Structure 1
Amino acid sequence: MKPYVFITRKLPDEVVKPLLQNYEVSMWEQEDIPVPKDLLLSEAKKADALLTMLSDSIDEKVLTAGKKLKVVANLAVGFDNIDLKVASREGVAVCNTPDVLTDTTADLTFGLLMATARRLMEAAEFVKDGKWKSWSPLLLAGHDIHHKTIGIVGMGKIGETVAKRATGFEMNILYHNRTRKPAVEQELGAVYVSLDELVEKTDFIVCLTPLTSETKNMFTREMFKKMKQSAIFINAGRGPVVDEQALFDALVAGEIAGAGLDVFEKEPIGADHPLLQLPNVVALPHIGSSSVETRMEMMKLCLSNIQAGIEGNEPKTLVNKDWKPLVKA
């Protein structure tokens, strides 16, 4: 009997086809609707491998539903949706898709910064709504980006790549990270500072930190009050690192100038979300790595990880480094 692979979201046929040579494959046939939890549990009970999305909760119930599961390949660089401790205990390899999405996500992040600073979304809608009646000196005037100071919170590979983009605009670069990055400091002239100093001095605060117990609700109302009134906050990392009510209150009170968000505390959000009611907020549907080329590479990496995990080999991008394959029925 061929090993069984379940995919929790519809993927292109050309991506799935190579799997069919060696595995039995089933796929949730919806592109925009997450797989129901009861179906996920039913599939996990018989699966050797799961290809999952960041929106899927891969908890203890899923990881222990059956006796065959060997690998969970997450189609994302993040993996806070998976219980790593239980996965390691059960001998399940957990994999993500780093590196292949670094440049694409950095492009989106800097594009979001530019769109928010120069009020591009407002301006586009202004024209489409027929409101453009004449030219005026401060019509939809935004904020300059060149020669300003950018502060990057979370100087991982994506953060480093955003910093490279910033050098093209001759920006001053400050960063805060768990560890210093001397090579980045030397190459790009980035300066390591405390989080408090970063938010006080920068014109653009760019959050790219992963979600951990330490970073959850990192950006509080107190933190927003420390920012410049002209500051723009960009979050392309994880939604829950921001207290969204605090961000809303800070924007309404004029404590910061605007926000560009690709991630939210709970996704997806509805049109009635408070932050969407504000004209100085640019909101995107978590599309940081969403280019055709990059998403295809991410999918291929997931397939490679699945093959390795099923065969009992260490996957290329293993997350739970304490993983050891268990002999399973």
Structure 2
Amino acid sequence: MSRKNKVLVIGNPGGLVDPDHWERFATYYDVIQYDFESQDEFHEALSYGSCSEISGIVRLGLRTPPTAANVGQGWTRLAMKHFPLTLRVIVNFGHGFEEEDIEGLNIRGIKFYNSCGGSESTATIGTYLIIAAFRNLSRYERMLRSGQFLPALRESLSSALDVQNKHIGVIGMGAIGQTLAMQVAALGMHVHAVDRPSLRTIIEDPVKWPGQLKIQVHDTIDLLIPQVDCIVLTCPYSTETHHLLSRERFQSMKKGVRIINIARGKCMDEEALCEAIDQGIVGGVGLDVYENEPQISARLLEKQDSVTLLPHVGGLTVDAMAKHAQICLDKIDKYLSRDKST
């Protein structure tokens, strides 16, 4: 009989994972549930305690026991020197990974995965923000709530724009960007993207990509920007994408361009964005992420007429959380190649 792999599970599977699936998972692995009351206690368990022989760690979310210490962003960086030599794989709940020590994990030979269960949910929020930015929906809702029903109608007649036949640049064609591209194309928008070998592989594969969805590709982001009526950021954050939308790039955009960010706040220079709004370059904005969240720029909060703001809820739905958890278990299961004879 083969020895079971030990797996540390951070987070409560209840309400996220199908009970039968969880029962099978707990049968095939020696599951250790995270319940450490402090970060030091967690690190001690990794170094020489109950977790010193684990093969994998799967983080199912934020719902740790009430008395346990939270495991937030950057937890792998803090725990790096305590990870046991037996650790082979970590699966982290969620899309972002910029706070984690990926380089350190690679050096240690520890494979790191994220889950992408919120791709559809996040893309849908992006599509909503695009429509809101063109149609000024947030402004009209505020007017209605303040008793200006008829004035809102008149303003909409003179300022709201349809998304149909508008050109949109999707910056970042991963799972979220691809889903959003399909959604906005269905609305009649013309999709543009920056040329990449990975993008070509996707859009030239009739199995992966709907043949009727055409994407106009550009060699660089600077060639794309002046051609589109809307720019949506769906890219991961890195040193290369820090302030991807900068003061210089705002100056090269079409007058009245709409700006949407569902990626990471630091991908855009928010001060430069506010300047571009004041200059009349940017005609509408939809944001679900912020440069210094949860703190929101006072200048953005003041611009109620042209900016729709959401509190980073893009991928946060009941359905998305369940998908994340399922992906987490499937990924660690596939990597560890469980022994069904145990």
1:121 pairs with 127, 138, 144, which one? Answer: 138
Q: Equivalent residues in 2 for 1:246-285 (5 A)?
A: 246-270=272-296, 273-279=298-304, 280-285=306-311
Cα offset, 1:224, TM superposition: 0.8
Q: Give distance in 2, aligned partners of 1:265 and 1:167.
A: 29
Cα offset, 1:165, TM superposition: 1.7
Q: Show the counterpart of 1:15.
A: 16
Q: Show the counterpart of 2:223.
A: 197
Q: Give distance in 1, aligned partners of 2:192 and 2:77.
A: 40
1:173 pairs with 155, 167, 191, which one? Answer: 191
Cα offset, 1:126, TM superposition: 2.1
Q: Equivalent residues in 2 for 1:177-256 (5 A)?
A: 177-179=195-197, 180-181=199-200, 182-183=203-204, 187-193=212-218, 194-256=220-282
Residue identity in the other structure for 1:5: L
Q: When the two structures are aligned, how many residues end up with a matched partner?
A: 302
Contact 2:261 2:288 in 1 (8 A): yes
- 2:231 partner SS: strand
Alignment of 1:74 with 2:92, yes or no, is yes
Contact 2:170 2:177 in 1 (8 A): yes
- 1:23 partner SS: strand
Q: Give distance in 2, aligned partners of 1:218 and 1:124.
A: 31
Q: Give distance in 2, aligned partners of 1:232 and 1:135.
A: 20
Tell me the TM-score normalized by structure 2: 0.75
Q: Give distance in 1, aligned partners of 2:31 and 2:13.
A: 17
Cα offset, 1:215, TM superposition: 1.7
Q: Show the counterpart of 1:94.
A: 112
RMSD: 3.2
Contact 1:217 1:241 in 2 (8 A): yes
Contact 1:6 1:27 in 2 (8 A): no
Q: Map Cα deviations across residues 47-92 of structure 1 (whole Å, 9 max, x no partner).
A: 4425167951134431222426443222123322221221123232
Q: Map Cα deviations across residues 276-296 of structure 1 (whole Å, 9 max, x no partner).
A: 221112122222222321220
Q: Show the counterpart of 1:326.
A: none
Q: Give distance in 2, aligned partners of 1:233 and 1:135.
A: 23
Alignment of 1:291 with 2:317, yes or no, is yes
Cα offset, 1:2, TM superposition: 9.3
Q: Give distance in 1, aligned partners of 2:144 and 2:39.
A: 44
When residues 125 and 112 of structure 1 are mapped into structure 2, their CA distance, relative to the original with a 3 A threshold, is same
Q: Show the counterpart of 1:323.
A: none
Cα offset, 1:252, TM superposition: 2.4
Q: Give distance in 1, aligned partners of 2:122 and 2:151.
A: 37
Contact 1:176 1:198 in 2 (8 A): yes
Q: Map Cα deviations across residues 164-215 of structure 1 (whole Å, 9 max, x no partner).
A: 2222222222111433525269642211113123211111111112223222
Contact 2:58 2:329 in 1 (8 A): no
When residues 136 and 61 of structure 1 are mapped into structure 2, their CA distance, relative to the original with a 3 A threshold, is closer
Stretch moving more, 69-78 or 206-215 = 69-78
Q: Show the counterpart of 2:127.
A: 110
Contact 1:153 1:177 in 2 (8 A): no
Stretch moving more, 222-231 or 206-215 = 206-215
Stretch moving more, 164-173 or 107-116 = 164-173
Return the structure number with greater helix share.
Answer: 2
- 1:147 partner SS: coil
Cα offset, 1:125, TM superposition: 2.4
1:147 pairs with 165, 187, 205, which one? Answer: 165
When residues 290 and 200 of structure 1 are mapped into structure 2, their CA distance, relative to the original with a 3 A threshold, is same
Alignment of 1:5 with 2:31, yes or no, is no
Q: Which runs of 5 or more structure 1 residues have no equivalent in the other structure?
A: 30-35, 315-329
Q: Give distance in 1, aligned partners of 2:44 and 2:195.
A: 41
Contact 1:44 1:63 in 2 (8 A): no
Contact 1:103 1:158 in 2 (8 A): yes
